[in-house]
Structure 1
Amino acid sequence: MSAHVSVTRRGLLKLGAGVAATAALAPAEAAAAAEGRFDLTAPSTSLIWKKPLRDGTVLQSFAIDNTNRHIYAVQLKNGGGSNAAGDLCVTKLSLSGSILGHMYLMGFGHGVQIGVEPSGTSAYLWTETDAAGAADGARGTRLARFRFVNGRTITPSSSGLTKYSLVAGASNTTCTIDPSTGRLVMRYHDGSGFRFAAYSQAEVKSGSKKRVFDVAQPSGLGTFQGYAAYGNFVYLLTGNAYHAGDNPPPGDTYTHCVDLRTGKLVQRARSVAGKSLDYREPEGMGIQIVNGAPRLCLGLASGPSGDRLASIFYKTKLI
């Protein structure tokens, strides 16, 4: 990163996902309603195409507020030292890609993935924080929850920010939130490798560290670029920017589906979404709910250095 279910059941799955997005289902009910998984070989559709963010750096990841219909995109803050310091910029976008606001997060990490929790007409963001230096830039060591406030700059010690240490000694901590189950899924490094741990978001907020699942990230997938969770599955994005020498178009972008119950890689497929983009680096994933039906979204960065643009594509087919 720069730095087989019947038709009837599928209908029930989609309906369940929509209910989960609009009503506070208990985690067990929501999980049962979202057992289907996305077909990674299905074609992708454009949601936003080559949109600027607040700063000119590469999109790192994004999350979608399905209640208020907003996208929150994160990137490194403009400035040569931002990667080493872990300084991030969050841009709030409409679903058509218009800029609606921004925040700066100083000393938080790299922005590999973020989560969003709708709250009334606003939202709370879940991100890494307490950045520690690493060979490839600063990375978070804890999780943070804070309300998005347009124009605000915050640090890990700012008021209104709550921190969570869910796994002792973890590094490279990032998270995503599954809108269908209310689970928070954290990716972390335990000293020997990367893992994914799933929690009830509501229980985490109440102080619990009880894990619903905890599985190892499969090895040999490629350059990690983001993830999203839906039901009992976590979806991973890997790949690199176009490079004429070793990664020419259509590139090496892949999506992967991992079963959170077993850690098994159940599907892997190459993505050619946005293949006509220049540069085209895969960056971030998210779940969008539209009229009760889920979409698996992936982000792509394009454009020249210092003036990068963001695109998001989605898949809808469930199997």
Structure 2
Amino acid sequence: MLCPITRRGLFNAGGLGIFVLELIIALLGLGVSVQTALSPPPPPPRFDLTEPSHDLFRSKSLHDVKVQQSFAFDNVNRRLFVAQRRDGSSDTAGDLCITQLDFDGNYVGYMYLTDFGHGVAFGAQGVGSSTYLWTEVEASSSGYGKKLARFKFTSGSTLSSTSSALTKFTPVSEATEHTCSIDPVNNNLVVRYSLSDGKHIAVYGLADAANGDFSSPLADFKQPSLGSLSPTFQGYAAYGQYLYVLTGNSYDLTGGEVNSQVTSINMNTGAIAQGPVLTRAGSTLTYREPEGMAIYQTGAGEVRLFLGFASGEVGDRRSNLFYKNVLV
């Protein structure tokens, strides 16, 4: 369970955690009821999905020209990566292009991944001055990755699914597909996986996952039904105990109508907390297909929920990122 306060959280708080424990022991020794002496902790914050979105950038080019699929932030090294299917590859080949941009949307570098997956979501983990990407890998016949892989981002290089530079994981042994996202504030790995009865979500400590330990998920539940206007799944991100999901279609499919929605899910219960809420972020974009979500925390400490959209014409698709920053 992703509880607001855990024993680990208390100990990680250092001196404050020890002080609180000592205070509780002292109060118990005096026969004082802790329930009346200490107020209950406040609920963890959740993004208000009804609040407006703000632009990070619009209409930025990626290394290849297909639509973006997802994006991820390395919150340690302040880097941004965007995934798209590789030019010239079939939609089911699982070949991806990862473009690195700066936060103004300027091109920095790229990496090609062969036989990895669809690119619905991925994570970026800062380790020292390096960035390690977490992606799906070993594409099935439908083009979605069967396992997860972790590897160092190296601009200008190409990795295949059989490369020795990869560390591969199968978090849920019976699952047929895996994708993942990183909560960079709480250092958790969120895994979306497929079983015979549908999609499920599991959460693991990022350090444990990097060591191959998936034995004790912090949460594990079946994904609820999403998207009252369109169930087309377009991305997810997590902050604390809440999962955020983006659904919807491009203007090509909706006839120019906005049907993109954002939903929050309480991962402690598996129940919807808010939504689906219609989002009109980037409503004036051409094509406008919802594509990807991510969490980023600024240097000043502000946590942002990012929404991605593809725009532009065939042969010249562009990347667009927006964010919400109001917590309740």
Unaligned runs of 5+ in 2: 18-40
Partner SS state of residue 139, structure 2: coil
Partner SS, residue 203 of structure 1: helix
Aligned identity (percent) is 44
Which whole-Å CA distance do the structure 1 matches of 2:326 and 2:302 have between them? 10
| Cross-structure match for 1:167 | 172
Q: Name the residue aligned to 1:122.
A: 130
| Aligned equivalent of 1:67 | 76
Tell me how far 1:215 sits from its aligned partner.
1.1
Q: Which residue of 2 aligns with 1:216?
A: 222
User: Is the CA contact (8 Å cut-off) linking 1:250 and 1:275 kept in structure 2?
Assistant: no
- Aligned twin of 1:238: 247
- RCO (CA 8 Å, sep 6+): is it higher in 1 or 2? 1
CA distance in 2, matches of 1:25, 1:72: 31
Instruction: Judge which range, 219-228 or 307-316, deviates more.
Output: 219-228
- The alignment covers a number of residue pairs equal to 289
Whole-Å Cα distance in 2 between the matches of residues 90 and 318 of structure 1? Answer: 30
Contact 1:140 1:173 in 2 (8 A): yes
Q: 1:90 aligns with which of 91, 95, 98?
A: 98
Partner-residue secondary structure (3-state), 1:83: coil
Distance in 2, matches of 1:219 and 1:52, equals: 34
Do the aligned partners of 1:34 and 1:180 also contact (CA within 8 Å) in 2?
A: no
Contact 1:118 1:124 in 2 (8 A): yes
Change (3 A) 1:207 1:33: farther
CA distance in 2, matches of 1:112, 1:34: 30
Structure with higher Rg: it is: 2
Deviations 1:208-233 (A, max 9, x none): 11211011111142100000010001
Tell me by how many angstroms 1:121 deviates.
2.1
The separation in 2 between residues aligned to 1:112 and 1:314, in whole angstroms, is 18
Shift of 1:149: 0.2
Rounded Cα–Cα distance in structure 2 between residues aligned with 1:214 and 1:316: 27
**Contact preservation (8 Å) 1:237, 1:253:** yes
What is the correspondence of 1:135-146 to structure 2 with a 5 Å cutoff? 138-146=143-151
How far apart are 1:172 and its partner, in Å? Answer: 2.8
In 1, Cα distance between equivalents of 2:125 and 2:80:
12
Q: In the superposition, relative to structure 1, how do residues 284 and 38 fare at CA in structure 2: closer, same or farther (>3 Å)?
A: same
Equivalent position of 2:304 in the other structure: 295
Root mean square deviation, CA, Å: 2.1
CA distance in 2 between counterparts of 1:34 and 1:59 reads 35
Q: Which residue of 1 aligns with 2:47?
A: 38
* Distance in 2 (alpha carbons) for counterparts of 1:255 and 1:25: 33
Moved more, 304-313 or 207-216: 207-216
- SS for the counterpart of 2:316 is coil
SS at match of 2:224: coil
The one-letter code sitting in structure 2 at the alignment partner of 1:260 is M
TM-score by length of 1: 0.87
1:187 maps to a residue whose letter is: R
1:263 aligns with 2:265: no
Equivalent of 1:196 in 196, 201, 206: 201
Change (3 A) 1:87 1:36: same
